[in-house]
Amino acid sequence: MSIARTGEFGLIERVVARLGTGPATIIGPGDDAAVVIASDGRVVASTDVLVEGRHFRRDWAEAEDIGRRAAAANLADIAAMGATATALLVGLCAPPDLDVAWAEQLSDGLATEAALVGASVVGGDMTASPTLTIAVTALGDLHGLPPVLRSGAQVGDVVALAGRVGFAAAGYTVLSRGFRTPKILVEAYRRPVVPYALGPAAGRAGATSMIDVSDGLIADLGHIAHASKVGVNLHRSAFKVPEQMRDAALALGVDPYQWLLAGGDDHALAATFPADVPLPEGWQVIGEVIEGSTVTLDNRPWYGPKGWDHFRA
Amino acid sequence: MSIARTGEFGLIERVVARLGTGPATIIGPGDDAAVVIASDGRVVASTDVLVEGRHFRRDWAEAEDIGRRAAAANLADIAAMGATATALLVGLCAPPDLDVAWAEQLSDGLATEAALVGASVVGGDMTASPTLTIAVTALGDLHGLPPVLRSGAQVGDVVALAGRVGFAAAGYTVLSRGFRTPKILVEAYRRPVVPYALGPAAGRAGATSMIDVSDGLIADLGHIAHASKVGVNLHRSAFKVPEQMRDAALALGVDPYQWLLAGGDDHALAATFPADVPLPEGWQVIGEVIEGSTVTLDNRPWYGPKGWDHFRA
């Protein structure tokens, strides 16, 4: 059945019926607005939009995986501030011939990913559009901690990474060449595995800056370098190319370091810590903060692609 | 200059440079997420998406007006909870050939409308899309008041309206027939005049339910009737047809009550109050809450269009 048949309100009713309610929800879907707990008198908020053909393809992933990825992109931004996500709001623009089941599964994916951090979908909007578009806003709670910004990195800090990089980019390349394996790469593209809890853990441990790796590690550390007015030097030896990634790179004729250093979409977290701070479990050192303004690899410039620009790529 | 030439980050930099900072902003645009004051430990949040060709037309309105209208749709939802808006997040999906100046003026419009209530644009996302789409999320602060829901109307309450209805719908009809006057109607469509402060005023006065009139008065009061398990009876005599609307209706062969009772987009506020409560200034009685489950006009069913369904209209 198409959403043109259920209509806007019928579709909203069906989708809302499938959503759970998180502990931070005071008023959930169905009113003019939601009301969500912001326990320390501040709320963290971020918006990301996914457009069909650019951020996802319906023939490459199930609706539920697309929902999980749309949620992950936003939940990772909240984690990168050192906060815990509490709620998602979802704007869905869909062609009227979209199957209702697809919209329901998308919504299931959004709710499932949100539930990983104790958040839930508290509201949204649905409208017809020729271009399938998913706009997600995530809200989060710092629980009294200061937010970890991009601008706090200090010369002498260590640069650390939590979560994996390069997997989603490798999966994207595999899919775009018409393959469906290696499964570990394709699955990583379809459904990122984000170390959400390691964001607040970094904040508690005293991280001086943090970012969600969505544009690519070099590009995103470049954002930290720019905001903090420092340079970043990465150690190539800190990046092991996993066996399946190496095999795929060889088969496809790609330098796997392009996936590792310039691939987005895994939503790893990158942060800087004072050199004398013990890193929280799950974080590993990949470089150091130096004087300068660029990101280097073993003290040399990186000439590969840096990452992703949405109007140019 | 097109946004394909400035690129995503260039465009974001240009737009952010034009934004002001509201008093509730702790961390504004430029990091992974914004941080906004939520003074009483709760945040009100709502998302609305506007799609070109469906919610706006670039040949019918300037970019700044489209920005104001996109902001108004969300800010009105916050007001309808009895809250004061603090922040907007904006997702812009735009064709790469979009002129940078258009995006800047859109952003000016969003910021100008937000500033009317002391809010500001604190974050967002930009991406390429074949369909120009504006996804806005508004955040708000209840300042210790309980939220005013759709579900609290009681039999015996009065039904009251703040702000104007029918003007935007009349302006839309005028424009869709190829006319550009009467100016008051066309301007109302381009730039709604929303009584934002009357939302919190209604909450303080003890309103039992409230809604933002965006689908049409009959449809939106139907949402209150449904959520509150009551009926609503409106008094036709409470709705005066303004002279210019009457003239336009006559010229276009439209029943002006269709604009008044089924037209959305003015973002008036409708609320119910206990019969013994003095209404705050700016609110006027238009009917009463009765037993039942539908919305009637002088105790008779309304056979005209009720309002707007975004997948069917």
User: Distance between CA atoms of A154 and A228, rounded to whole angstroms?
Assistant: 7
Task: State the pLDDT at residue B309.
Answer: 55
CB B72 within 8 A of CB B113: yes
User: Distance between CA atoms of B175 and B248, rounded to whole angstroms?
Assistant: 11
Looking at the complex, does the CB of residue A268 fall below 8 Å from at least one CB of chain B? no
Task: State the pLDDT at residue A309.
Answer: 54
Contacts of A62 (CB under 8 A, 6+ apart): A105, A190
Distance in Å, alpha carbon of B60 to nearest chain A alpha carbon: 19
CB B217 within 8 A of CB B262: yes
For A:26-85, CB contacts with B below 8 A are 26-27, 30-49, 51, 54-55, 77-78, 80-81, 83
Contact B42 A31 (CB under 8 A): no
Contact B133 A129 (CB under 8 A): yes
Pick the residue from chain B with its C-alpha nearest to A309: B8
Mean pLDDT of A292-305: 90
Contact A54 B211 (CB under 8 A): no
User: Distance between CA atoms of B264 and B267, rounded to whole angstroms?
Assistant: 7
User: Distance between CA atoms of A97 and A90, rounded to whole angstroms?
Assistant: 20
Contact B31 A149 (CB under 8 A): yes
Compute φ and ψ for A256, nearest 5 degrees.
Answer: -65, -20
Distance in Å, alpha carbon of B198 to nearest chain A alpha carbon: 15
Residue B171: which of B49, B75, B56 has the closest Cα?
B56
User: Distance between CA atoms of A76 and A269, rounded to whole angstroms?
Assistant: 8
Element (DSSP H or E) covering residue B246: helix B243-252
Instruction: Determine whether the annotation assigns residue B48 to a binding site.
Output: yes
Contact B35 A43 (CB under 8 A): yes
Distance in Å, alpha carbon of A158 to nearest chain B alpha carbon: 20
| Per-residue model confidence as pLDDT tens digits over B48-90 | 999 999 999 998 889 999 999 999 999 999 999 999 999 999 9
User: Distance between CA atoms of A161 and A293, rounded to whole angstroms?
Assistant: 20
Contact B127 A310 (CB under 8 A): yes
Which residues in chain B have their CB less than 8 angstroms from residue A126's CB?
310-311
Q: Which residue has the higher pLDDT, A293 or A13?
A: A293
Count of Cβ atoms closer than 10 Å to residue A97 Cβ: 10
Task: State the pLDDT at residue A311.
Answer: 53
Say whether pLDDT at A11 is over 90. Answer: no
User: Distance between CA atoms of B299 and A8, rounded to whole angstroms?
Assistant: 28
Pick the residue from chain A with its C-alpha nearest to B78: A33
User: Distance between CA atoms of B32 and A151, rounded to whole angstroms?
Assistant: 11
CB-CB: which of A55, A92, A128 is closest to B54?
A: A128
Contact A137 B38 (CB under 8 A): no
Structural domains in chain A plus CATH codes: 3-141 (3.30.1330.10), 158-301 (3.90.650.10)
Question: Which one of B5, B8, B27, B43 makes the best mutation probe of the A interface by having the most chain A beta carbons within 10 Å?
Answer: B43
Compute φ and ψ for A38, nearest 5 degrees.
Answer: -130, 85
**What is the residue whose two structure tokens read 């690129």?**
B7
User: Distance between CA atoms of A284 and A272, rounded to whole angstroms?
Assistant: 11
| Per-residue model confidence as pLDDT tens digits over A98-114 | 999 999 999 999 999 99
Strand partners, B295: B232
User: Distance between CA atoms of A79 and A75, rounded to whole angstroms?
Assistant: 6
Task: State the pLDDT at residue B313.
Answer: 42
**What is the residue whose two structure tokens read 């457009």?**
A51
Task: State the pLDDT at residue A36.
Answer: 98
Q: Enumerate residue ranges in chain B where pLDDT < 50.
A: 312-313
Looking at the complex, does the CB of residue A213 fall below 8 Å from at least one CB of chain B? no
The terminus-to-terminus CA distance of chain A in angstroms comes to 35
Tokens of A167: 């997997």
Pick the residue from chain B with its C-alpha nearest to A214: B32
How does A201-225 read in b/e, with b if 16+ C-beta sit within 10 Å?
bbbebebbbbbbbbbbbbbbbbbbb
| Per-residue model confidence as pLDDT tens digits over A276-296 | 999 999 999 999 999 999 999
Question: Which one of A6, A37, A47 makes the best mutation probe of the B interface by having the most chain B beta carbons within 10 Å?
Answer: A47
Task: State the pLDDT at residue B308.
Answer: 55
Which residues in chain B have their CB less than 8 angstroms from residue A92's CB?
49
Compute φ and ψ for B90, nearest 5 degrees.
Answer: -130, 120
Distance in Å, alpha carbon of B286 to nearest chain A alpha carbon: 21
Mean pLDDT of A108-132: 96
The mean of the pLDDT values for chain B is 94
CB-CB: which of A31, A138, A150 is closest to B31?
A: A150
User: Distance between CA atoms of B217 and A89, rounded to whole angstroms?
Assistant: 25
Contact A32 B3 (CB under 8 A): no
Contact A135 B91 (CB under 8 A): yes
Say whether pLDDT at A263 is over 70. Answer: yes
| Chain center to CA of A32 | 28
Residue A313 — very low, low, confident or very high, per pLDDT cuts 50/70/90? very low
Distance in Å, alpha carbon of A147 to nearest chain B alpha carbon: 8
Question: What percent of chain A is predicted at pLDDT more than 70?
Answer: 97
DSSP at A95: -
Tokens of A268: 């790893």
Instruction: Determine whether the annotation assigns residue B40 to a binding site.
Output: no
CB A294 within 8 A of CB A222: yes
User: Distance between CA atoms of A78 and A198, rounded to whole angstroms?
Assistant: 11
Question: Residues of A at the annotated binding site for ATP?
Answer: 124-125, 150, 214
Say whether pLDDT at A272 is over 90. Answer: yes
Q: Residue A310 carries which side chain, given as an amino acid letter? A: H
**What is the residue whose two structure tokens read 């170390």?**
A195
Contact B38 A42 (CB under 8 A): yes
Which residues in chain B have their CB less than 8 angstroms from residue A54's CB?
127-129
